[in-house]
Amino acid sequence: MVDTSHADPRGGPGPATLADTPGPQPVLHVRNLSKTFPGTRALDDVELDIAPGEVHALMGQNGSGKSTLIKLLAAYHSADPGAHAELEGVPFEVGRSVPDGLRFVHQDLGLILELSAQDNLALHGGFARGFGGRVLWRQQETETRRVLAAFDVDLDIHRPLAAATPVQRTVVAIAAALQGWEGGGVLVLDEPTAVLPHDEVERLFEVVAEVRRRGMSVLYVSHRMDEIFQLADRVTVLRGGRRVGTYDVSALDSRTLAGRMVGDDVDPDFRATVVAQVDQPVTLEARGIRGKWLRGVDLETRAGEILGIAGLAGAGALELPYVLAGKADAHASGEIRLPNSSPDWHDVSKARLDIPLVPADRQTEAVVAEFSVGENISLSALRSLGRRGRLAAKAEAALVESWSERLGVVSAGPSAPISTLSGGNQQKVILARCLAVGPRVLVMCEPTAGVDIGTRVSIYQIIADLAATGLTVIVASSDEGDLLALCTRILVLRDGVVAEELAADGLTKNVLIRAIEGAEQ
């Protein structure tokens, strides 16, 4: 009863599937949904049934067609002819119109951060207006409080959302999407946890539970497998634009699910084989690092070591990489030295040590969207390409070629726009950019955010291979999976200082999470 696709999971959906459509009529019923772009079939004859009141997960790697499916439902793209869709028994033209019972919270949340929660809600749901179009502010405020009260969120509704925490913003976006909602229907959440710190994810789950309790179904798109097991009733897996199948979550384990997504047995509990390097020379020393959230961090790394930095949001873990790489603002202080190149200590806010950084937010901090793949790779290494400022095209092409090959970047070639690459491949490009300068120390922040599991493992493997050749890697991540998969040693930050140091050997996820949260052990 579990595996509804009778066909071999590798062969895509069988002819007549979805055998276990639950008893009641599905809320959302979609058949024969396809989308063809010039040169590619992004979605191929996909079907989807969402039962009343269920949390239905949609999973798949980058490029599997998840986003295309969501964009079709939101009528952002038009569907190929032949699709059939019904919401609560009422047919609608999928890709052309969006029925009122279908509500969306997109990945970027669609909020205006300069405006307050109240204004954002009003922009979605309309302003309470009196004579002459005058906004009735008092009434508006009452309405805003009423809408937000349902989600138990503690937020100053008059302050710009830029000052709110990520989860508060997500809640506001959900509340905005649900305004004027009259029961039934489906709320589509597109990767809502992509930008949420670990400790705030639970909060989001409560909100999702609340939505479900009020009788709405949820279509939940995510990369993170543990969330699916915690939250969803059923999961539909897409691969290469086709539906692999729809499964009961209770009858799946993460290995099977990963296998369905990747089409092969990829190990979700992958651990890179990196040996702790106690007798190797010290490559980087830092002392008294202060900055945003940071209140004096000391650390030391050795050649071939992969050092993990863990911590809750606000503990300073995700800020530390920027300071170490000399890319933080002027408020950062502390001293750093690279004993390999010179015994001198440098002020971190002024040092020009050229330690490359893989930034946390790929889209805003790393990728130059208007540049090609090649231009993105060579950006940091331009100085080495040619003499007296002249850029030698051949040297650049060779550099790009060799790094694309080493990291297995899949693209239409070096001149392809970077925006045509999947998230995982874009991340490889950024990694290539950092490695192309030939660093001894590499600092990474959220190395696999928004990267699908297949590419994720290949990124782990690349980093591990580099460490084996003597590169020191410092990895900060809010995803414990990254740290467990990669690190030889993990520093846990709490309140801006190193609270614990854990050897990764034999470390379990639970122990790590407890350490991060500062629970008694």
Partner 1 sequence: MSVNVDERVSTPTEHREPGRGTGTPTSRWMSRLAVDKVGAIYVWIAIIVVFSIWVPETFPNITTAKQILNSNAITALAALSVTIPLAARVFDLSFALNMTLCGVAVAHFVVDGVPLIPAVGLGVLIGLAVGLINATVVVGMKIDSFIATLATGSLIQALITLVTNDTPISDVKLAGGFSKIGQTTSQGLILPVLYVAVVALGIWYLLEHTATGRRLYAVGFNQDAAKLAGVKVRRLQFLALVTSGVLAGTSGIVLASILGGGSPTAGTPYLLPGFAAVFLGATQLKNGRFNAGGTLIAVLLLGTGTTGLGLANAPQWSGSLFVGVVLIAALMVTGLQRRTTLAARPVPDKSEDLASA
Q: x/- site string to partner 1, residues 308 to 327, per CB under 8 A?
A: -----------------x-x
Pick the binder of partner 1 from 213, 389, 506, 519 (CB under 8 A): 389
Pick the binder of partner 1 from 91, 130, 281, 408 (CB under 8 A): 408
Is residue 95 a contact point for partner 1 (CB under 8 A)?
no
Which residues, 337 to 376, sit near partner 1 by CB under 8 A? 354, 356-357, 359, 364-371, 375
| 73, 35 Cβ separation under 8 angstroms | no
Pick the binder of partner 1 from 97, 230, 250, 420 (CB under 8 A): 420
Is residue 462 a contact point for partner 1 (CB under 8 A)?
yes
Written as six digits, the tokens of 370 are 């208007």
3-state secondary structure of 84: strand
3-state secondary structure of 413: coil
Pick the binder of partner 1 from 254, 280, 333, 458 (CB under 8 A): 458
Which residues, 47 to 76, sit near partner 1 by CB under 8 A? 61-63
Q: Which is nearer to partner 1, 334 or 424 (CB)?
A: 424
| 28, 199 Cβ separation under 8 angstroms | no
Nearest-angstrom CA–CA distance, 474 and 139 = 52
Pick the binder of partner 1 from 2, 75, 115, 266 (CB under 8 A): 266
Which residues, 125 to 144, sit near partner 1 by CB under 8 A? none
Long-range contacts of range 391-400, CB-CB < 8 Å, 24 or more positions apart? 399/436, 400/373, 400/374
| 463, 304 Cβ separation under 8 angstroms | no
Q: Which is nearer to partner 1, 76 or 181 (CB)?
A: 76
Query: Could you tell me which of 418, 423, 488 has the C-alpha nearest to residue 449?
Result: 423
The H or E element spanning position 333 is: strand 333-337
3-state secondary structure of 384: helix
Is residue 398 a contact point for partner 1 (CB under 8 A)?
no
Q: At closest approach, how far in Å is the CB of 370 from partner 1?
A: 4
Q: At closest approach, how far in Å is the CB of 469 from partner 1?
A: 16
3-state secondary structure of 139: helix
Report how far apart the first and last C-alpha atoms of the chain are (Å, whole number): 41
Is residue 269 a contact point for partner 1 (CB under 8 A)?
no
Which range touches partner 1 (CB under 8 A), out of 103-111, 119-127, 233-241, 339-347? Answer: 233-241
Is residue 402 a contact point for partner 1 (CB under 8 A)?
no
Q: Which is nearer to partner 1, 357 or 493 (CB)?
A: 357
Distant-in-sequence, close-in-space partners of 113: CB < 8 Å, separation ≥ 6: 160, 161, 162, 169
Is residue 454 a contact point for partner 1 (CB under 8 A)?
yes
Q: Which is nearer to partner 1, 146 or 387 (CB)?
A: 387
CA–chain centroid gap for 293, Å, is: 23
Instruction: For residue 314, count CB atoms less than 10 angstroms from its CB and return exposed for 0-12, middle for 13-18, buried for 19 or more.
Output: middle
Written as six digits, the tokens of 7 are 């066909």
Which range touches partner 1 (CB under 8 A), out of 177-185, 292-300, 309-317, 457-465? Answer: 457-465
Q: Which is nearer to partner 1, 294 or 400 (CB)?
A: 400
Is residue 424 a contact point for partner 1 (CB under 8 A)?
yes
Q: At closest approach, how far in Å is the CB of 263 from partner 1?
A: 7
Buried b (16+ CB within 10 A) or exposed e, 64-96: bbbbbbbbbbbbebebbeebebbbeeeebebbe
Which range touches partner 1 (CB under 8 A), out of 10-18, 33-41, 190-198, 299-307? Answer: 33-41
Which range touches partner 1 (CB under 8 A), out of 158-166, 209-217, 308-316, 389-397? Answer: 389-397
Q: At closest approach, how far in Å is the CB of 465 from partner 1?
A: 10
Pick the binder of partner 1 from 50, 155, 332, 385 (CB under 8 A): 385
Nearest-angstrom CA–CA distance, 54 and 512 = 32
Q: At closest approach, how far in Å is the CB of 114 from partner 1?
A: 16
Q: Which is nearer to partner 1, 293 or 371 (CB)?
A: 371
Pick the binder of partner 1 from 39, 132, 183, 343 (CB under 8 A): 39
Which range touches partner 1 (CB under 8 A), out of 91-99, 109-117, 295-303, 406-414? Answer: 406-414
Q: At closest approach, how far in Å is the CB of 413 from partner 1?
A: 4
Query: Could you tell me which of 244, 202, 213, 109 has the C-alpha nearest to residue 164?
Result: 109
Query: Could you tell me which of 195, 216, 109, 209 has the C-alpha nearest to residue 151?
Result: 209
**Total residues at the site for partner 1 (CB under 8 A)?**
67
DSSP track, 212-252: HHTT-EEEEE-S-HHHHHHH-SEEEEEETTEEEEEEEGGG-
Nearest-angstrom CA–CA distance, 445 and 428 = 14
DSSP 281: P
Sequence letter at residue 465: D
Which range touches partner 1 (CB under 8 A), out of 185-193, 206-214, 277-285, 453-461? Answer: 453-461
User: Using CA atoms in the order 181, 184, 188, 194, what is the torsion angle rounded to 10 degrees?
Assistant: 80
What pairs with residue 497 in β-bridges? 494
Pick the binder of partner 1 from 425, 426, 427, 477 (CB under 8 A): 425
Q: Which is nearer to partner 1, 167 or 485 (CB)?
A: 485
Distant-in-sequence, close-in-space partners of 518: CB < 8 Å, separation ≥ 6: 494, 499
Binding site for partner 1 (CB under 8 A): 37-40, 61-63, 77, 239-241, 262-264, 266, 270, 325, 327, 354, 356-357, 359, 364-371, 375, 378-380, 382-383, 385-386, 389-391, 393, 397, 408, 410-417, 419-422, 424-425, 433, 437, 454-455, 457-458, 460-462
